[in-house]
Structure 1
Amino acid sequence: MKPIALAAALGFASTMPLWAEDAFLYPFDGSFEDATFAVESAIVGEGLVIDYVSHVGDMLNRTGADVGSEAVIFKNADIFLFCSAVISRQVMEEDPMNITYCPYGIFVMETDEGVIVGHKDYPDGSMQAVENLMQQIVAEAIGG
């Protein structure tokens, strides 16, 4: 069963992360607006600055007809992009090619099944500090 289908089957009752081919998915018990506020607050609460919020859901909904599609992928979807000077320096001193993962992003998406908060599954090893930070921020945001 695919992770999104599994999340729907579970009714988002679990706060345990689900995994979807390179991403961790965390069910959020609340509205999209509450989830985006919680994620923003958790990022800022870590002393980090949000560089950009990508409103992916709005863009896809706005441009669907222009590309010949009527499919509604998300009711809402935003990605919060940010970086950590301390952790970025740490992981890039270990491997300068870790620049390819910066900035870091946490997404919030809403479908008919509910609201999910998630982030990439970063490679084991030198990027573990980033993955730990992402999991800490998401845990704070979802109340875990």
Structure 2
Amino acid sequence: MTRTALAAALALGLSVNAAAAQEATTYPFDGTFDEATMAVEAAIIGKGLVIDYRSHVGEMLNRTAADVGSTVKVYDNADVFLFCSAVLSRKMMEADPLNIAHCPYGVFVMDRAGQVSVGYRQMPEGPMQEVQTLLDEIAREAAGQ
């Protein structure tokens, strides 16, 4: 394979992975934003995991809108819970050290016009599907599905 063909194949593969990484799975939550965040926290902790950080994305976007010249309110509220699994992270990174790009893992809660959802970013095909299964279990449990 020539260098040009190899470079094109690699670029195409990276583009497909980047596009897939941008997709998300969401589940509707029948309740308030605060109830959903408590449910997500309980589901993560219930799996024996520790939440490393809770990112208040909605607050940040609302607080900085005027600073960046926007009047759009994207979310009424939105948080992302970031965490890792020592067991799964080791397994994923032993399979491919570049899987570090997907760590820490995140489950989000968003409220848009009173519609509350719980979700996560989809993981690429291959070994990371085991992490996606964990994220899906957490999101479904939190959403009551």
Class of the TM-score when normalised by the shorter of the 2 chains: 0.7 to 0.9
Aligned match of 1:16: none
CA shift at 1:126, angstroms?
A: 1.1
Amino acid paired to 1:134 = L
SS in structure 1 at match of 2:81? strand
Matched, 1:69 2:88: no
Counterpart of 2:71, as a letter, is E
- Equivalent runs, 1:115-126 vs 2, <5 Å: 115-126=116-127
Aligned 1:36-55 pairs, distance under 5 A: 36-55=37-56
Report the 3-state secondary structure (helix = DSSP H, G, I; strand = E; otherwise coil) of the residue aligned with 1:139.
Answer: helix
* Backbone CA RMSD of aligned residues: 1.3
Deviation at 1:22, TM superposition (A): 1.1
**Cα distance, 1:105 vs. partner?**
0.5
Aligned residues: 125
Letter in 2 for 1:74: Y
- With structure 2 as the length reference, what TM-score do the two structures score? 0.83
Identity between Structure 1 and Structure 2 (%): 59
Structure 1 stretches lacking a partner, 5+ long? 1-20
Which runs of no fewer than 5 residues in structure 2 stay unpaired?
Answer: 1-21
- Whichever structure has more helix as a proportion of its residues is 2
Separation (CA, whole Å) in 2 of partners of 1:109 and 1:135: 16
Residue 23 of structure 2 corresponds to: 22
Please list, as runs of the form range in 1=range in 2, the aligned pairs for 1:81-96 lying within 5 A after superposition.
81-96=82-97
Report runs of 4+ in structure 1 exceeding 6 Å deviation.
Answer: none
